Structure formats: C-alpha cells, structure tokens
C-alpha cells in the first residue's frame, strides 16, 4: 500500500466500501471484485486499497482471529506480525512484572501493542514507516480512550524516542528489507534498529526483544540465572511451528530462569524452564517409542529434561529424536509408537509399504539428507492403511522406522 492508496482508503467512502466487500480469499475473488468495482466507477487507488485490504483480512484470520475483520494491514506487516495467541502471553508477562506503560519500538501494524493495550497497559507505539504507523494508529483506535491508559502512535526512528515516561520497551527489529509488499531477509548486521543499540538499551531498562528462532545463540545477551545481569531467553512454538525467540531483561526476566520453551497448541499453553541449558541423556537403542521434541524445546536446549521425564534418550548424538520403552508422552513432544524397522533404500521400502497396504504416509526426517516429497513420488503409495515413517540415522546407518502417532497428552 502506498500513500495514495492509504489516502483513498481512509475516507468515509473508502472504509464503507471495504466493509461492504467481506472476505476476498482467492485470486479469482480478487479479479472478480476488482472488475466489479472498477465498472461501478470507483477510482483505481480506492479499488486497489479496498480489495487489497479485504484479501489481507482473510489471510490475517489465523493470526488475529475475529480482530482481523476490523484491522488494516500491509502484506509485509502481516507476515511479520506476532500472532495474537503469542502477543497475549507477552502482554501478560508485562502486566505481571508491574509494567504500567510500554514503548513498542518497531510496532509494525500494531499487533503486540494491541495485546498490551488490551490488558490495560499504556502504550507508545513507534514505527519508522509513516504508512505503517498510520495503519497501527487505526488498529489501536479502539483503545485510544480518555478513560483508559494513554495509547499513542508515532512515526519515527526508535533511536530518537524519549523513554522517560515508560517502564519497559518491546523491540521487534526489522529483519527484512523495507517495503509494504515483497521483502527479503537481511543479515543480523543490517537489522533496524541495529542490534548493538537494541541490546544496549535492553541492558539499561526492562525489555522484551523479538527475534527469529534461529538467531545465533552466541550473539545473544544470554545470562545464566543468578548472575548480576538478569536475562531470560524464551523460544516459542505454536501448533508445531517454532515462530520466535524473545530475550527478556531486567524485571521482565524471571528469577532463576535462564532458558524457557513456551509451547502453544490451540488454547493450551505449556512451558518448560531451567536456569541454563540442560545436560542431554546418553544415547539409547531404538525402543518401543520415538519422541520428537517441539522446536522451542530443541532451540532452548532443554531436551535433556524432556528425555528424563519420558525415561528416554537420544537415538543418536546430535539427532533430536528420543527413544524409550515407557508408554508415556508429554506436551513438549510428538510421540510415535514403533511398529517395525523397514529397509531404508527406496525400492525395498516401497515394496514393504505396498505389502502392508499403506497408501497414506506421513514422512518425517532428522539427520538424513532426504527430500520427503521426492521420496513419496518414488514410493508410489497405494492402499487403505496409514502410518508415519521416521527417517533418521543411528550407529552410522540410515534407519527407516514405521510408526503410529500417539494421541497428545
């Protein structure tokens, strides 16, 4: 969205037109709607803005639920926004720590600020891009009330914001090139605001810093619990995908917690915490069950605690599959009951699967260079049965484990 489209949209006519469209989900829907609105005499800028927003609202539902139908987006802003289920946990931590007003520096379309305002925090939301800041102001408008905590939105550079009247900062450095549509990832050295500035600020006042889950651990200000520098690093998985890590500092970092893994599935939340990385269990031979830890647990290096709770151990050094004989599972893993070990080579593997009538196969891998989609084509599966195939490595050899998913705890 450019400024001309935004100006056309933020009028009574523009907003009424947008609300009249409903969901515009598919490419065909977009084409039909554009043709209809242009034939009705609406300007190209207004049509582009309204149809674009209707399409983005449909795409935003998985992140924002029912709030999506009342929000405005850019494509890049939606892609980079925090899911509401996650930002609600961030907001709860802020409130529990006694934060009264937070500065959201790099607020994007305002997703995290919405959660902060929803729990009664005062918010100063800042974004460097004027169009994005305007959309954030629109999205936060329901909370800008004289009867509640102050909610303010500004366009400006994070480094230039006075922070005298806030108790904490939330920082989401831009990890992609600037733009409202197609963007590309940039190296950590090119984040905006710069990470050196971000980490320096977080050392001086309570902060939450949102980063990608694969961020270099050696480049993080990770402090062990009990040290003079209170830092907690939290990895977060949602419905099986590891989405982000957050570095919490000062009063936002919990005492005696240096690492944490937050696992969200649907409405359920489970968390594993520890003062520091935990020791791994010894390797074990394949047992009756295989457990795959959640990505947040793997990133936080808390696999050892999960293994001990399951009476399990890694199937091989450096491979995040745990195995054991105990018929138990946990919210921090996906568990599989082992049927048998099959040949790892595609031709005998295909023959074995056909003999068992398996036509629906979930293929998972760790520690082996296999393209599951290409392998599926080679297997030419047929039959009424279903199963999971775990491809991994143990004792220096490839291992193909036929298994069934265990219902979650």
Return the residue matching tokens 């922070």: 163
The DSSP element (H or E) to which 405 belongs, if any, is strand 397-405
Alpha carbon distance 58, 133 (integer Å): 21
Alpha carbon distance 264, 358 (integer Å): 32
Q: Residues 197-224: what's their mean pLDDT?
A: 89
Residue 174: pLDDT band with limits 50, 70, 90: confident
Q: According to the model, what pLDDT value does residue 233 have?
A: 96
Q: According to the model, what pLDDT value does residue 301 have?
A: 96
The DSSP element (H or E) to which 362 belongs, if any, is strand 358-365
Nearest to 222 by CA among 182, 257, 192, 180: 257
Do 316 and 394 contact (CB within 8 A), yes or no? yes
Q: Is the pLDDT of residue 224 over 60?
A: no
Q: According to the model, what pLDDT value does residue 130 have?
A: 92
Could you give the percent of the chain with pLDDT greater than 70? 94
Q: From the CA atom positions of the chain, what is the Rg in Å? A: 24
Q: According to the model, what pLDDT value does residue 121 have?
A: 96
Q: According to the model, what pLDDT value does residue 279 have?
A: 95
Return the residue matching tokens 């629109």: 138
Residue 151: pLDDT band with limits 50, 70, 90: very high
Q: According to the model, what pLDDT value does residue 122 have?
A: 96
Mean pLDDT of the residues in the chain = 91
Q: Is the pLDDT of residue 244 over 90?
A: yes
Q: For the CA atoms of 338, 339, 341, 345, what is the dihedral angle to 10 degrees? A: -110
Alpha carbon distance 397, 316 (integer Å): 10
Nearest to 360 by CA among 400, 402, 388: 388
Do 155 and 131 contact (CB within 8 A), yes or no? no
Do 332 and 270 contact (CB within 8 A), yes or no? yes
Tell me the β-bridge partners of 171: 105, 209
Instruction: Say if pTM beats, i.e. exceeds, 0.85.
Output: yes
HSE-CB for 99 with a 13 A CA cutoff? 34
Q: Is the pLDDT of residue 365 over 60?
A: yes
Q: Which residue has the higher pLDDT, 402 or 186?
A: 402
Taken as a whole, the chain contains a residue count of: 409
What tens digit of pLDDT does each residue of 304-361 get?
Answer: 999 999 999 999 999 999 999 999 999 999 999 999 999 999 999 999 999 999 999 9
Q: According to the model, what pLDDT value does residue 107 have?
A: 94
74-83, 110-119, 361-370: the lowest-pLDDT one: 74-83
What tens digit of pLDDT does each residue of 264-291 get?
Answer: 998 899 999 999 999 999 999 999 999 9
Could you give the percent of the chain with pLDDT greater than 90? 76
Q: According to the model, what pLDDT value does residue 23 have?
A: 75
Alpha carbon distance 289, 81 (integer Å): 37
Q: Is the pLDDT of residue 179 over 60?
A: no
Q: Is the pLDDT of residue 259 over 60?
A: yes
94-98, 217-221, 235-239, 306-310: the lowest-pLDDT one: 217-221
Q: Residues 105-121: what's their mean pLDDT?
A: 95
Residue 26: pLDDT band with limits 50, 70, 90: confident
């Amino acid at each position: 969205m450019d400024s001309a489209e935004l100006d056309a949209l933020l009028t009574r006519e523009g907003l009424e037109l947008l609300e009249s469209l409903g969901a515009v989900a598919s490419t065909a829907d977009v084409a039909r709607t554009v043709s209809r609105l242009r034939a009705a005499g609406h300007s190209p800028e207004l049509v582009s803005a309204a149809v674009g927003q209707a399409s983005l609202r449909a795409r935003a539902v998985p992140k924002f639920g029912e709030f999506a139908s009342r929000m405005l987006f850019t494509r890049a802003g939606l892609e980079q926004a925090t899911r509401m289920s996650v930002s609600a946990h961030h907001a709860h931590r802020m409130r529990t720590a006694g934060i009264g007003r937070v500065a959201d520096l790099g607020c994007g379309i305002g997703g995290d600020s919405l959660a902060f305002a929803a729990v009664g925090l005062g918010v100063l939301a800042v974004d460097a891009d004027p169009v994005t800041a305007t959309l954030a102001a629109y999205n936060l408008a329901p909370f800008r009330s004289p009867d509640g905590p102050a909610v303010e939105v500004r366009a400006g550079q994070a480094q230039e914001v006075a922070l005298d009247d806030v108790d904490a900062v939330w920082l989401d450095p831009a990890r992609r090139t600037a733009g409202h549509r197609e963007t590309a990832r940039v190296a950590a050295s090119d984040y905006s605001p710069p990470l050196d500035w971000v980490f320096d600020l977080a050392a001086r006042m309570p902060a939450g810093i949102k980063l990608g889950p694969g961020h270099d651990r050696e480049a993080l200000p990770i402090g062990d619990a009990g040290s003079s520098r209170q830092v907690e690093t939290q990895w977060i998985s949602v419905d099986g995908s590891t989405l982000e890590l957050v570095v919490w500092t000062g009063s936002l970092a919990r005492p005696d917690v240096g690492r944490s893994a937050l696992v969200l599935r649907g409405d359920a939340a489970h968390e594993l915490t520890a003062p520091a990385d935990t020791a791994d269990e010894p390797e074990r031979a394949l047992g009756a069950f295989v457990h795959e830890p959640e990505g947040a647990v793997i990133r936080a290096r808390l696999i050892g605690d999960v293994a001990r709770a399951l009476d399990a151990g890694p199937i091989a050094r450096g491979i995040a599959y745990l195995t054991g004989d105990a018929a138990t599972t946990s919210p921090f893993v996906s568990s599989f009951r082992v049927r048998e070990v099959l040949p790892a080579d595609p031709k005998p593997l295909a023959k074995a699967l056909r003999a068992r009538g398996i036509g629906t196969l979930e293929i998972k891998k760790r520690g082996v260079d296999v393209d599951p989609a290409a392998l599926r084509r080679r297997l030419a599966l047929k039959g009424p049965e279903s199963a999971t195939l775990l491809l991994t490595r143990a004792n220096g050899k490839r291992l193909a484990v036929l298994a069934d998913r265990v219902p979650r705890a």
